[in-house]
Amino acid sequence: MSVQRACRVVNLSRAAYYRTAGGELAARDELVINALNEVVARHGRWGFWKCHERLRLDGHVWNHKRTWRIYCALRLNLPRRTRKRLVRPVQPLDAPALPNEIWALDFMSNSLYQGRRFRTLNILDEGVREALAIEIDSSLPAERVVRTLQQLAAWRGLPRAIRLDNGPELTAQRFTTWCAVKGIELRHIQPGKPNQNAFIERFNRSYRTEVLNSWLFGSLDEVREITHRWIRSYNEERPHNALSNLPPTVYRERLLAGLNSTLQLST
């Protein structure tokens, strides 16, 4: 009877039929096992290819397929460290009709003339495209973000939601806890999707073109002074296409005046 027919009768695969006994295989691979164990004992964090090349340098001419089979059988293959993929829901870019509905936050970076780096925290009211603040310093941790929002709340109030990316300052427990206590919804965009925060990205482009790329700054105070003047011009003088060619401050005042008159007529 042929091997194929015999294996079919007893329901045995031919690979299992030809497989040698475990003891014979271990005895045949004993030299490779001992050599691998010696290398791993000296260099515990080496991967397969470093171990294999070390064996070749030591005079062993075993094929890498054989070495890999024994390497895996000894469970020496370490699991790769992979980054946890952050999953966020899609954030539709819906422009609110009223101020203080949704704010947008984002960070930018630049350098002084001497090469010292600094960062900016830009905050925009999406409803009226009004620049609320640009905080400037060499470091802007989560505590600084919270303090800036508290200062804005003193004269502007707080928004219903904030659109932001997944930076470490904006996912820190200090910031997220403060927003939860204040009842602010955090709308984190998906990683690698800056178009979901397009309003602040467009604002960043204007700020970089008209300020950061147009001046050579000697100090942080100089950056703050020029930025302060630019914010006032942006809010009070610069026409905005999406606001019927009105500056954001003028548009917000007219919008609120129209709402107040409508409420008075209805009452």
Crossing angle for the helix pair 48-57 and 64-73, nearest 10 degrees? 130
Q: Are residues 136 and 36 in the same domain?
A: no
Question: Which comes out higher in pLDDT, residue 180 or 43?
Answer: 180
In this structure, the answer to whether residues 259 and 218 fall within a common structural domain is yes
User: Which pLDDT score, from 0 to 100, does residue 25 have?
Assistant: 63
Residue 17 and residue 145 in one domain: no
Element (H, E) at 125: strand 117-125
145 in any annotated domain: yes
Same domain, 67 and 171: no
pLDDT in tens, 214-261: 999 999 999 999 999 999 999 999 999 999 999 999 999 999 998 888
Backbone angles phi, psi at 123, to 5 degrees: -125, 125
pLDDT at 172 over 70: yes
Residue 80 lies in a domain: no
Look at residue 90 and tell me if it is in a domain: no
Residue 59 lies in a domain: yes
Tokens of 12: 């045995």
Beta-bridged to residue 110, according to DSSP, are 118
CATH of the domain at 160: 3.30.420.10
Question: Domain check: are 129 and 34 in the same one?
Answer: no
Per-residue pLDDT at 135: 97
Instruction: Give pLDDT, residue 178.
Output: 97
Q: Which residue has the tokens 């992979």?
A: 82
**Taking the complete model, does pTM exceed 0.75, yes or no?**
no
The full length of the chain comes to 267
Q: Is residue 249 part of a domain?
A: yes
Q: What is the model's pLDDT at position 219?
A: 96
Number of folded domains that form the chain: 2
d(CA 263, CA 267): 6
* pLDDT for 76: 85
- Predicted pLDDT at 24: 63
The per-residue pLDDT for 17 is 82
11: three-class secondary structure by DSSP: coil
Determine the Cα–Cα distance for residues 123 and 103; give it in Å rounded to an integer. Answer: 7
| pLDDT at residue 21 tops 60 | no
Are residues 115 and 68 located together in one domain of the fold?
A: no
Q: Residues 22-81: pLDDT tens digits? A: 556 677 888 999 999 999 888 888 889 999 999 999 999 999 999 999 998 888 886 666
pLDDT digits (tens, 9 = 90+) for 91-120: 778 888 899 999 999 999 999 999 999 999
- Examine residue 88 and state whether it is found in any structural domain, yes or no: no
